[in-house]
Amino acid sequence: MNREWNDTQPIYRQLRDRGVHMILDGVLKEGDPLPSVRNVAAEFRVNPLTVLKAYQQLVHEDLVEMRRGLGMFVKAGARALLLKGERQKFLN
């Protein structure tokens, strides 16, 4: 995965977009756990709070659910929701 950052968008937003692409591409399937905040922070050499903010954005968008003590998981219907949103963007 490319580890270079775009200066025109916050890093948390770019991490969120990477998560979305992983769901759309089938890398992360419904029910799959997201990589831990610490692992992602270490891999991309960013602050764990930045990763957490990206994950919270995915939760807010109803794509991911947090399971206390277990981590974050892709919600059922997340891919369909994303595809619907992409279709709407295309048609507008």
The whole-angstrom separation of Cα 57 and Cα 80 is 18
Total-model pTM: 0.87
Q: What fold, for 11-91?
A: Arc Repressor Mutant, subunit A (1.10.10)
92 residues of the chain, pLDDT tens digit each: 556 888 899 999 999 999 999 999 999 999 999 999 999 999 999 999 999 999 999 999 999 999 999 999 999 999 999 988 777 777 77
Residue 61 Cα distances to 1, 29, 33, 55, 69, angstroms: 23, 16, 17, 10, 21
Burial of 9 (0-12, 13-18, 19+ CB in 10 A): exposed
Residue 28 corresponds to which tokens in the numbers above? 């992360």
For the chain, what are the domain ranges? 11-91
What is the structure's pLDDT at 73? 98
Enter the DSSP assignment of 20: H
